[in-house]
Amino acid sequence: MDLHDDFGRPVSNIRIAVNSGCNLKCVYCHREGETKPDAPLPIEDIKAILNIAHDLGIKSIKFTGGEPLLREDIVDIIRAVPPGIESSMTTNGTLLAGYAHVLRDAGLSRVNISLDSLNPETYRSITGVGVLSDVLEGIEASRNAGLTPIKINMVLLKGVNEGEVDDFIRLVSGDRQMILQIIELMDLGDCPLHADLSDLEDMIAAESRKVITRRMHHRKKYCYDNAEIEFVRPFHNSDFCRHCNRLRVTSDGKLKPCLLRDDNLVDIRGKRGDELLRLFQNATRKREPFYK
């Protein structure tokens, strides 16, 4: 059984926030749109969601937070992913060095690591914590454990880290196990840190030796200066919406059909069996492109 919305878009990916807490205090954090979340879902609910996802033909699961590695049962959650579904995780990397091999043994395929600066002082000013070295150790541990390809998520911040793009390109250059994702900051209002990525992407595109369009997100991957670079630009982007294949689950158990909306959530906390299946189908019917 497959899920398709009324616009013909398949749902093949689910993003599950396993908690809302974090050990960093990033200046731009939007907490996945969760302003006052209830208690995180118990593992029994998450297991039920994973089993329904399997029944619905979901191909991949991404675990997020907050910071998912703060959750004590995170390894058990990874282990509960049904066979045939690829699992990955987005993490800030600060705790990853101690978890990488255990996560891989539990079945995790790869990681996205949020890292916005390679300068210790700038990193501290963005996150409020001076733990850049821990993140770099987490990257190395992930490589050694085989949690690859490792995607480095760099949110470009106006006037803060714009001058570090070349440093990040050098970080992943020549390493087939690493990909750089340059991400547009979610501008939910008048945000002074929001940086337009248009000129930067145009420059990278013009000088790339090869451009690959990814099947899953219809996103371009640029082979530039011996590095693989992607741009994530959800705002005012009809192409992004047209190829959206994702449902989100908030940390407190609500299906979120659209990244950019909070007025159409579907509560699935404590639900099981056919009722949970119907709620997934209901949430899928609520999906529509935000930008058309």
For 265-287, what is each residue's pLDDT tens digit? 999 999 999 999 999 999 999 99
Task: Please list, in sequence order, all residues whose beta carbon lies within 8 angstroms of the beta carbon of residue 177, skipping any fewer than 6 positions away.
Answer: 143, 148, 149, 150
Domain-by-domain residue ranges, the chain?
Answer: 13-285
Token pair, residue 9, equals 């878009």
CB atoms within 10 A of CB 201: 18
* Of the candidates 9, 32, 52, the residue with the CA atom closest to the CA atom of residue 245: 9
pLDDT at 291: 82
12-32 pLDDT, tens per residue? Answer: 999 999 999 999 999 998 776
Residue written as token pair 């699992």:
87
Q: Rounded CA gap, 23 and 19, in Å? A: 12
CATH class of the domain at 13-285: alpha beta
- Residue 8 Ramachandran class (φ > 0 left, ψ -120 to 50 alpha, else beta): left
Q: Rounded CA gap, 190 and 87, in Å? A: 35
* pTM, full prediction: 0.94
81-102 pLDDT, tens per residue? Answer: 999 999 999 999 999 999 999 9
Q: Is the link from the previous residue into 37 a cis peptide, with omega within 30 of 0?
A: no
